[in-house]
Structure 1
């Protein structure tokens, strides 16, 4: 897998805190400027950019935008702050998602549609301004309705064959099912959770993996939504690693609950999967935010996860965030599977995600040997919408170069 010097190099890099990414630096200022931008710009595009609405319409519309601007951060503060009020969280998250979609299409249609109308010979007029307003409102309504249905549905299964050059012939056809970012939260999704697990069980997996962000809230609070995970079946193992959201809500409680439900928490450790006389190392690491959480014994430690593993065996690594792939590639990992990005969840947020992560979704190569599969996630975080970023349950069929792929 790697020589001793490579291992020491990868291990020593883990002793240093990760550099603050551009996205994290930007996030310091977003709580101050984002709510104003999200509500003020659509207000101007829909009500004041040449429409000349009757005064009552302008007053009512402006009042609604002001209520959104004030109410959204208040509701999110009550919902996700110290009080942890689920109803407030639902209101705040819904307003956040709705305002993001409205903002996006106010910008796009406010500019592009005006340009198209100008080219078509429709000059500056009240009629043109109102065409833009109704186009923005109509597009936003359709996308929010569709996005809500996409977020609440049982994800489609995405199947992919992945060839690993070091995989033995006996392991060819090994079925790895990945679920991640279930984010059980303020909206009770216990029935959804049951249906997801039923779908997983139809895939006849050898190995089922959950790469973190199980829930928003403690294990005690979200237990009813997570309990169906105990019904998941796999012929070899069910394995789990922590995500960053576990470290917002008593991560050890989630590690304990997953163990109680029959899953193997791979906290900087590995297990061996044997099939047809060949062996696969399945390793897992804590999320990269674990060490900064202050929780004793939690940190991402790849060398510890591989300790004692035969360096000639292929390695499947579970790591919540795709950006861990730099360390994985340095250590010669064959395949890393991750989540975290949600595929952007609500377009065009994926552009911001790419500032922080090396991959958004799908299979990518990093270094000479390492492949990374990034799932768009099984659930959703916060706003109950998925726009141009569908959720997924992933079936990865591992292939050996020694055998041809079967159909």
Structure 2
């Protein structure tokens, strides 16, 4: 009952705020405009939760996912900029502009801004991610591994929108970087292997001189995590399902360990297990840990990990949603320090979840150049 009430209140706020400001209160539109606007908000509001469940529930009906995802993105941006529109409303009021002109000006400006952001956000979401290069010094890294190039992709979220061409572009962009190690830190796809394998398979063309490593994110556990682990292995990736892989160069060694997402505890044989992941590893070797969520860094600190690689946050994806992400996660994106030794790199993600928009939160292919102390 409480969850249902919260859902109703959230939907009422998201849809009701822009409806009141743009249609009902102040603009004094002609009756046909008022009726049409009200009917549009009402129909979308009533259809949205049903289509969200139909699309993202067990049935995975893609047309319903597309409609509900786009609706979620549009209504969020509309809600945010309707609130910001009250600043313009105040300015116009101080300038002596009366209603309904004041309310109509604000409504038009908000709609123009929202339309522009939707075009910009869609373009950002659908483009091949920009490359973001960061040098990371690991005090325990041997000289033989100095300059090791680790490329991180994450949160590709292959889903109801057909993105096979985008996937091929992503793989080509990674190969152009001449990586030594490529890591995919989870949230590979939304849906079953049989539904999304066509989009995922171009990742089989990714090349790395040392290793291609993959871990699960939370979204794999909403569908078929083991199926995705098996499929990525068939594409030549090494699934670090609570295990590790050692890279050796010039007589020096670096341990790449991977742990499951915490969501995996609901599936037998899954769930994060750092002890199993590091079992048999030399404690004197530096450790890079693949863990989907940044908040798993607390486990990394306890285990003496040197560098954790994560995604999950999407950098907020649609501004200002990043404020809500920070409530749940310690870091939004970039390199950060934790504890006496552990560093954490959080990627903004290579794809997007749900709404096909990225507003002021660009996607990325992360290149980490590992350095030993000089």
TM superposition score normalised by structure 1? 0.90
5 Å matches for 1:96-245? 96-109=72-85, 111-119=86-94, 121-245=95-219
Structure 2 match to 1:79: 55
**Aligned equivalent of 2:309, options 337, 343, 349:** 337
Give how far 1:129 is off: 0.9
- In 1, Cα distance between equivalents of 2:97 and 2:350: 47
Aligned pair 1:55/2:66, yes or no?
no
Structure 2 match to 1:388: 360
Deviates more, 1:360-369 or 1:76-85: 76-85
Q: Is the 8 A contact 2:93 2:102 kept in 1?
A: no
Structure 2 match to 1:286: 260
Give how far 1:36 is off: 1.5
What is the aligned residue count? 373
Q: Is the 8 A contact 2:256 2:288 kept in 1?
A: yes
Structure 1 match to 2:227: 253
- In 1, Cα distance between equivalents of 2:211 and 2:99: 65
Structure 2 match to 1:35: 11
- In 1, Cα distance between equivalents of 2:163 and 2:3: 29
Structure 1 match to 2:320: 348
- In 2, Cα distance between equivalents of 1:233 and 1:116: 56
Give how far 1:256 is off: 0.3
Aligned pair 1:399/2:366, yes or no?
no
Aligned pair 1:275/2:249, yes or no?
yes
**Aligned equivalent of 2:288, options 308, 316, 323:** 316
3-state secondary structure, aligned to 1:289: helix
Structure 2 match to 1:377: 349
Deviates more, 1:198-207 or 1:67-76: 67-76
- In 1, Cα distance between equivalents of 2:67 and 2:262: 30
Give how far 1:30 is off: 4.8
What are the superposed Cα offsets for residues 145-191 of structure 1, whole Å, 9 maximum, x if unpaired? 11011111100011111111111111110000000000000001111
Q: Is the 8 A contact 1:122 1:128 kept in 2?
A: no
Change in Cα spacing, 1:197 to 1:27, as seen in structure 2 (3 Å) is: farther
- In 1, Cα distance between equivalents of 2:9 and 2:118: 23
Q: Is the 8 A contact 2:131 2:365 kept in 1?
A: yes
Structure 1: runs of 5 or more not aligned:
1-25, 403-407
- In 1, Cα distance between equivalents of 2:317 and 2:19: 24
- In 2, Cα distance between equivalents of 1:198 and 1:30: 44
Change in Cα spacing, 1:30 to 1:346, as seen in structure 2 (3 Å) is: farther
3-state secondary structure, aligned to 1:33: helix
- In 2, Cα distance between equivalents of 1:70 and 1:123: 36
**Aligned equivalent of 2:277, options 305, 311, 315:** 305
TM superposition score normalised by structure 2? 0.97
Give how far 1:29 is off: 6.1
- In 2, Cα distance between equivalents of 1:383 and 1:374: 21
Structure 2 match to 1:326: 298
- In 1, Cα distance between equivalents of 2:200 and 2:7: 31
Give how far 1:83 is off: 2.4
Q: CA RMSD in A?
A: 1.3
Structure 2: runs of 5 or more not aligned:
none
- In 2, Cα distance between equivalents of 1:234 and 1:48: 58
What are the superposed Cα offsets for residues 124-147 of structure 1, whole Å, 9 maximum, x if unpaired? 421111111011101100000110
What are the superposed Cα offsets for residues 78-117 of structure 1, whole Å, 9 maximum, x if unpaired? 11123211011101110111000000100111x2112222
- In 1, Cα distance between equivalents of 2:65 and 2:71: 10
